[in-house]
Chains A and B, each alone.
Chain A
Amino acid sequence: EDQVTQSPEALRLQEGESSSLNCSYTVSGLRGLFWYRQDPGKGPEFLFTLYSAGEEKEKERLKATLTKKESFLHITAPKPEDSATYLCAVRGTYKYIFGTGTRLKVLA
Chain B
Amino acid sequence: DADVTQTPRNRITKTGKRIMLECSQTKGHDRMYWYRQDPGLGLRLIYYSFDVKDINKGEISDGYSVSRQAQAKFSLSLESAIPNQTALYFCATSDPPPGTDTQYFGPGTRLTVL
A residues near B (Cβ < 8 Å) are 31-32, 34, 36, 41-46, 49, 87, 89, 91, 95-96, 98-101
Contacts and interface: CB of A to CB of B under 8 A. Distances in A.
Contact of A49 (B42, B45, B90, B102): B102
Interface string B63-106: 00000000000000000000000001010000001001111111
Contacts of B40: 100
Please classify the interface of chain A as helix (H, G, I), strand (E, B), loop, or mixed, using the class held by over half of its residues.
strand
Contacts of B102: 32, 34, 46, 49
Contacts of B108: 41-43
A45 B88 CA distance: 15
Interface of B: 4, 40-43, 45, 58, 88, 90, 97, 100-108, 110
19 contacts: A31-B97, A34-B102, A42-B107, A43-B105, A44-B90, A44-B105, A46-B103, A49-B100, A49-B101, A49-B102, A87-B42, A87-B43, A91-B101, A95-B45, A95-B58, A98-B42, A100-B40, A100-B42, A101-B42
Nearest to B40: A100
Of B4, B103, B108, chain A has the most CB atoms within 10 Å of the CB of B103
A43 B106 contact: yes
Of B42, B90, B101, chain A has the most CB atoms within 10 Å of the CB of B42
A43 to B, nearest CB: 4
B103 A100 contact: no
